[in-house]
Structure 1
Amino acid sequence: MTDIWDFLERERAELADFLETLTPEEWEVQSLCSEWKVRDVAGHLCAIGEFRQRWWTFGLALPPGRLVGRLSKSGFRFERFAAEDGRTRGAEPPTAIIAALRELVPRREHPPGMPTVAPLVDILVHNLDIRRPLLKPRPMPAESFALCAPLFTRIGFGSLYFRSRNRIAGLRIVADDVGWSTGDGPEVRGSAEAILLTLANRPVGPNELTGEGADQLRNRLRGSSKLISDD
């Protein structure tokens, strides 16, 4: 039986090690998340460190009183609230963020009502949010990808942001470098990284998706800003 927690531990440790290598300037680079710099994404990934079953609401670890207060300040708009939460956590010194992430390595908790694999999905996608703008890729961990990708296709994980099930409906999606595929219809091929980014509604280069259904999938992405140059 696959132990999701072992993969999560590896991802957290690997990301903490990678963050240790960044310069002060790289911590300030804009991530793939429009509201967050690299430091804010890293800070967001430490949120589960405040986990308490009765406090976890909408994927954010906050006591009920603080939740209502901060939602009120954001005009009860969840996306604005989540963005501000990430910026608040990202304002900590890089050394503190890295230390908090390392403390999480052995933790085995996930938000109530969400699949056990959810924290692994979160860190796998956010790792790309950090690495891509820095032009510092890594090989996609095939086993972690195989655990995470089906969550987007079966239950529409994070549908508030991703809406991945609708995007890939009627298409066959193939991650050709890890031997993973899903769906039926015109084929869309790409690397596991490009496929995961697409499922998570992140930008991909115009030549990263190929196949008969590639143009159709591109047209379903939310706006032309979701496509970036391969240059």
Structure 2
Amino acid sequence: MTDLQSYVAPTCTRLADLLAASSTDSWDAPSLCEKWQVRHVVAHLTMPARLTPEQFGAEMAAAGGDFAVLSDTVAARDAALPLGELLDQLRSPVLHGWQPPGGGAAGALSHAVIHSLDVTIALDLPSVAPDEAVLAILDLMTAADGGWFGIDLTGVRLEASETDWSWGEGRLVRADSGALVALLAGRALPDGRTLPRR
């Protein structure tokens, strides 16, 4: 398998290019992340480019150790940053080289791929992540049997509509590989499809 970290830079850079070419209204559109607009997703995705480990620790302490609270707080605050600044952070080598504590390259790539899909699927735009990166994340998520986001894959067969990738046995869920990643990340697609929770 190719070094997973090497896919982070093209995913983030292509997302920056896509958003730079889109209307500013796109930033205020709903994303696949519940209650977050596109600007909130970008602010969250780029958080490692802005916060030093010490600043992150202070934010975590202020959030009482709850990462969900920290994420919502930082996304709400930093979504107000100038769009050019957020675009620069998507292109930042700091973000491209970052790895979450304990998550390694797989965690860094899943962060980039999943949140890029939160934007592109919601805006009905093509995926920006390399195809190999999306399939790598699919393999990692199914190897964990949906456990990353608490998805119940009992009796489910997943098939990617644009490749020969498939996994599991049972009720067929067929969609493009990016949509399958979003479903495995617990997102509701614009067409209303979801996967059951454990």
TM-score bracket for this pair, using the shorter chain length = 0.7 to 0.9
Residue identity (%)? 26
> Which residue type is aligned with residue 200 of structure 1?
A
Instruction: Write the distance in 1 (CA, Å) between the matches of 2:45 and 2:170.
Output: 36
Shift of 1:187: 3.2
Structure 2 CA distance for partners of 1:23 and 1:190, relative to 1, 3 Å? closer
Counting only pairs closer than 5 Å after superposition, residues 78-227 of structure 1 correspond to structure 2 as 78-104=67-93, 107-138=96-127, 141-155=130-144, 159=148, 162-164=149-151, 167-204=152-189, 220=196
Structure 2 CA distance for partners of 1:157 and 1:90, relative to 1, 3 Å? farther
Select the structure of larger CA radius of gyration: 1
Q: Is the 8 A contact 2:43 2:75 kept in 1?
A: yes
**Paired residue secondary structure (1:126):** helix
Q: Which residue in the other structure is 1:229 paired with?
A: none
Instruction: Write the distance in 1 (CA, Å) between the matches of 2:48 and 2:95.
Output: 12
> Which residue type is aligned with residue 185 of structure 2?
A
Q: Which has the higher contact order (CA 8 A, sep 6+)?
A: 2
TM-score (ref. length: structure 1): 0.73
Structure 2 CA distance for partners of 1:187 and 1:118, relative to 1, 3 Å? same
Q: Figure out how many residues of one structure are paired with residues of the other and give that number.
A: 198
Q: Which residue in the other structure is 1:62 paired with?
A: 56
Q: Is the 8 A contact 1:9 1:105 kept in 2?
A: no
Q: Is the 8 A contact 1:140 1:192 kept in 2?
A: no
Tell me the alpha carbon deviations over residues 75-124 of structure 1, each in whole angstroms, 9 at most, x when there is no partner. Answer: x6543332121122211110000111111377323112114122221221
Q: Is the 8 A contact 2:155 2:169 kept in 1?
A: yes
Shift of 1:142: 2.3
> Which residue type is aligned with residue 127 of structure 1?
S
Q: Is the 8 A contact 1:46 1:104 kept in 2?
A: no
What 5-or-longer segments of structure 1 have no aligned partner?
56-60, 209-217, 223-231
Tell me the alpha carbon deviations over residues 50-87 of structure 1, each in whole angstroms, 9 at most, x when there is no partner. Answer: 465x65xxxxx603x34212x14xxx654333212112
Instruction: Write the distance in 2 (CA, Å) between the matches of 1:149 and 1:193.
Output: 9
Q: Is the 8 A contact 2:122 2:190 kept in 1?
A: no
